[in-house]
């Protein structure tokens, strides 16, 4: 009797982002994807979020490879933080590896990382795993699903996909290979759940090209297109429309310039000589002959488009007659920032076109009918929905239950261990440590839930600093108390409040006996209690109270 196949999601099941799944058999682990997530509103000061890889660190000698399905950051962005802890070769297609290499270069890790570049239909053997890369359509070039052959059976992992019958580059999803694996027999299908709430089919990326063509035809001024820098097909369609309308293209934004350079060098992005112009030359080109491709479609505070909207960009000033196209979806949580940016663009005199008023974005994820087709092609014995919030996983599980037995549909969450035995059947074999690790500047994991709670407390109720100098021998007050508030009240507007707070501290200290007055910790706690009660009574607020006791 052989060993079981253990499948352990470490991220991406219960959230959008953080995609990472460990496949373990015997003394070998392969990790599919290694993604990040951008912070939610309550994560004050956090730059990015990465998965907790404690389990991989404890089993580092078993980890043989990272298999990356495509180049989006929710599948690659944690690599700079995870590789120094658990090193292994990174496998991916050419553009995927190119984007990863560029990112690792920033962290000084590119030279020490072993990259293995593959093409669709290539197969690689890693320990007991035989892995084939299968082409899929998505909103980035070179995306792949995976067929992972194991001693227990074959697992199909779709990666992110949709079924685009008319892709921009003509590279249609490899339906044949998925169907062939379905004919041969598939133990388990793990399938993208992002768009399970949407009925029907996702629109083809080529539809955007037609809509961009119409917008370009009627615009007389400059055209500014904001898009995700990883969406090479979208960039290609903007470039094609610019060429047809005799406009030159200017790239703006670090990632836009870098990703376009990588894609062009690898042959994924094509344009005629002389079409591209330098940002420094933009003012010398007539307005009706310019297309600016930029980052910042989500209203990020320091992005190029936001700085243009705020009239704070060194080289580009948005003027009346400019047309701004936001060619991307509004990511949940960014709506307010995007709306604010759009309002400022209108103030500058620009016309703004976005997905609510025009078809300038389509999803890269499969809708319900495509998800059914995938299930019918692969015909798995078991099914695990992946890549989505919990409701997406539940809805995808219900959808799958119409096509395969309900008892064979498994809703797993991050940290769950699902074991498939060689003789058949599966068990939930407990849990491993999982969760989210916060990255704040150069700190990785040093900001935890308690720190975030303190930051939210400070943001909501402010801080009060109480400075008192005490005679170390007698306990008598030598200086103060001095009360300083931040984020509580406008002190000049409420002078009586601060003076009253001083009196509260004096009364609290006078009430202490001589012995307690010589104990700094006791004094601190008494000052904290007195001020907490005072501000709660007068303002109905609970600011963070920081007593500072100086012994003289």
Write the CA distances from 439 to 261, 333, 442, integer angstroms: 28, 19, 7
- 495 CB contacts (<8 Å, ≥6 apart)? none
Confidence check: pLDDT of 461 > 90: no
pLDDT digits (tens, 9 = 90+) for 384-418: 999 999 999 999 999 999 999 999 999 999 999 99
List, in order of start, the domains of the chain with CATH numbers: 5-200+363-444 (3.60.15.10), 206-353 (3.40.50.10710), 462-551 (3.10.20.580)
**Which pLDDT does position 294 carry in this prediction?**
95
Q: Which of 52, 142, 192, 414 is catalytic?
A: 192
> Residue 528's pLDDT band (boundaries 50, 70, 90)?
confident
Nearest to 381 by CA among 177, 174, 156: 156
Mean of the pLDDT values across residues 22-27? Answer: 97
Tell me which of 484 and 201 has the higher pLDDT: 201
Mean of the pLDDT values across residues 232-254? Answer: 95
Q: What pTM, to 2 d.p., does this model score?
A: 0.82
> Residue 494's pLDDT band (boundaries 50, 70, 90)?
low
Mean of the pLDDT values across residues 163-179? Answer: 95
**Which pLDDT does position 93 carry in this prediction?**
98
Mean of the pLDDT values across residues 145-173? Answer: 96
Mean of the pLDDT values across residues 271-289? Answer: 93
Give exposure, 388-415, as e/b (b: 16+ Cβ within 10 Å).
beeebbebbbebbeeebeeeebbebebb
Q: Are the C-beta atoms of 292 and 284 separated by less than 8 Å?
A: no
47 catalytic residue (yes or no)? no
Nearest to 219 by CA among 352, 401, 374, 312: 352
The token pair at 448 is 């935890």
What three-state secondary structure class fits 295?
coil
Q: Are the C-beta atoms of 146 and 32 separated by less than 8 Å?
A: yes
Write the CA distances from 498 to 465, 524, 527, integer angstroms: 11, 18, 14
> Residue 336's pLDDT band (boundaries 50, 70, 90)?
confident
**Which pLDDT does position 518 carry in this prediction?**
67
Q: Work out whether the CA dihedral 515, 516, 519, 520 comes out positive or negative.
A: negative
**Which pLDDT does position 480 carry in this prediction?**
76
Q: What are phi and psi of 131, to 5 degrees?
A: -120, 125
pLDDT digits (tens, 9 = 90+) for 56-113: 999 999 999 999 999 999 999 999 999 999 999 999 999 999 999 999 999 999 999 9
Q: Work out whether the CA dihedral 427, 433, 438, 439 comes out positive or negative.
A: negative
**H-helix or E-strand spanning residue 55:** helix 54-58
Mean of the pLDDT values across residues 341-356? Answer: 91
In angstroms, the CA 305 to CA 340 distance is 12
Q: Strand 129-135: give its sheet, edge to edge.
A: 123-126, 129-135, 144-149, 154-157, 186-192, 380-386
**Which pLDDT does position 337 carry in this prediction?**
85
- 184 CB contacts (<8 Å, ≥6 apart)? 154
Mean of the pLDDT values across residues 320-339? Answer: 85
Confidence check: pLDDT of 380 > 80: yes
Mean of the pLDDT values across residues 337-341? Answer: 90
Q: Terminus-to-terminus CA distance in the chain, angstroms?
A: 76
**H-helix or E-strand spanning residue 126:** strand 123-126
**Which pLDDT does position 534 carry in this prediction?**
86
Mean of the pLDDT values across residues 221-228? Answer: 94
**Which pLDDT does position 189 carry in this prediction?**
98
For residue 250, the 8-state DSSP code is E
Mean of the pLDDT values across residues 482-503? Answer: 75
**H-helix or E-strand spanning residue 30:** strand 28-32
174 catalytic residue (yes or no)? no
pLDDT digits (tens, 9 = 90+) for 36-64: 987 665 555 567 788 999 999 999 999 99
Mean of the pLDDT values across residues 502-518? Answer: 78
Confidence check: pLDDT of 359 > 90: no
Q: Which of 365, 387, 392, 396 is catalytic?
A: 365
**Which pLDDT does position 271 carry in this prediction?**
95
Percent of the chain with pLDDT over 90: 67
What three-state secondary structure class fits 541?
coil
Q: Are the C-beta atoms of 231 and 273 separated by less than 8 Å?
A: no
> Residue 519's pLDDT band (boundaries 50, 70, 90)?
confident
Cis peptide before 250, with omega less than 30 degrees from 0?
no
Mean pLDDT, the chain, whole residue set = 89
């Amino acid at each position: 009797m052989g060993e079981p196949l253990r499948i352990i999601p470490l991220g991406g099941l219960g959230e959008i982002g953080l995609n990472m799944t460990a496949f373990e058999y015997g003394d070998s682990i392969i990790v599919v994807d290694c993604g990040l997530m951008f912070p939610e509103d309550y994560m004050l000061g956090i730059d990015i979020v990465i998965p907790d890889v404690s389990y991989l660190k404890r089993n580092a000698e078993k980890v043989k490879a990272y298999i990356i399905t495509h180049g989006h950051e929710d599948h690659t962005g944690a690599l700079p933080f995870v590789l120094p802890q658990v090193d292994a070769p990174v496998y991916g297609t050419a553009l995927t590896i190119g984007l990863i290499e560029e990112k690792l270069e920033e962290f000084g890790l590119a030279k020490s990382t072993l990259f293995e570049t593959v093409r669709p239909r290539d197969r690689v053997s890693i320990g007991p795993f035989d892995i084939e890369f299968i082409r899929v359509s998505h909103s980035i070039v070179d995306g792949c699903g995976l067929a992972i052959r194991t001693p227990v059976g074959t697992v199909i992992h779709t990666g992110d996909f949709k079924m685009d019958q008319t892709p921009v580059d003509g590279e249609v999803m490899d339906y044949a290979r998925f169907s062939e694996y379905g004919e041969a027999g598939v133990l388990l299908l793990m399938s993208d759940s992002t768009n399970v709430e949407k009925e029907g089919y996702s629109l083809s990326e080529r539809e955007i090209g037609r809509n961009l063509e119409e917008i370009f035809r009627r615009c007389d001024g400059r055209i500014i297109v904001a898009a995700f820098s990883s969406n090479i097909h979208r960039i290609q369609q903007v470039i094609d429309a610019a060429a047809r309308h005799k406009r030159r293209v200017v790239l703006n934004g670090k990632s836009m310039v870098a990703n376009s350079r990588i894609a062009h060098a690898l042959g994924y992005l094509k344009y005629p000589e002389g079409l591209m112009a330098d940002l420094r030359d933009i003012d010398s080109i007539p307005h009706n002959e310019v297309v600016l491709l930029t980052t910042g479609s989500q209203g990020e505070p320091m992005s190029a488009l936001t700085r243009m909207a705020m009239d704070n960009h060194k080289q580009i000033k948005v003027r009346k007659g400019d047309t701004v196209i936001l060619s991307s979806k509004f990511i949940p949580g960014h709506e307010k920032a995007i709306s604010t940016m759009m309002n400022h663009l209108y103030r500058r005199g620009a016309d703004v076109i976005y997905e609510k008023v025009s078809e300038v974005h389509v999803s890269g994820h499969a809708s319900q009918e495509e998800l059914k087709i995938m299930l019918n092609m692969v015909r798995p014995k078991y099914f695990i929905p992946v890549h989505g919030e919990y409701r997406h996983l539940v809805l995808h599980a219900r959808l799958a239950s119409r096509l395969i037995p309900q008892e064979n549909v498994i809703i797993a969450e991050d940290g769950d261990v699902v074991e498939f035995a060689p003789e058949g059947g599966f068990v939930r074999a407990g849990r491993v440590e999982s969760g989210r690790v916060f990255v704040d500047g150069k700190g990785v994991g040093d900001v935890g839930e308690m720190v975030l709670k303190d930051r939210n407390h400070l943001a909501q109720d402010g801080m009060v600093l109480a400075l008192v100098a005490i005679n170390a021998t007698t306990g008598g007050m030598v200086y103060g108390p001095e009360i300083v508030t931040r984020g509580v009240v406008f002190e000049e507007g409420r002078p009586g409040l601060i003076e009253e707070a001083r009196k509260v501290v004096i009364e609290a200290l006078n009430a202490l006996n001589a012995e307690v007055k010589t104990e700094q910790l006791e004094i601190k706690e008494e000052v904290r209690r007195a001020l907490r009660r005072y501000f709660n009574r007068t303002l109905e607020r609970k600011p963070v109270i920081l007593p500072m006791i100086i012994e003289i």
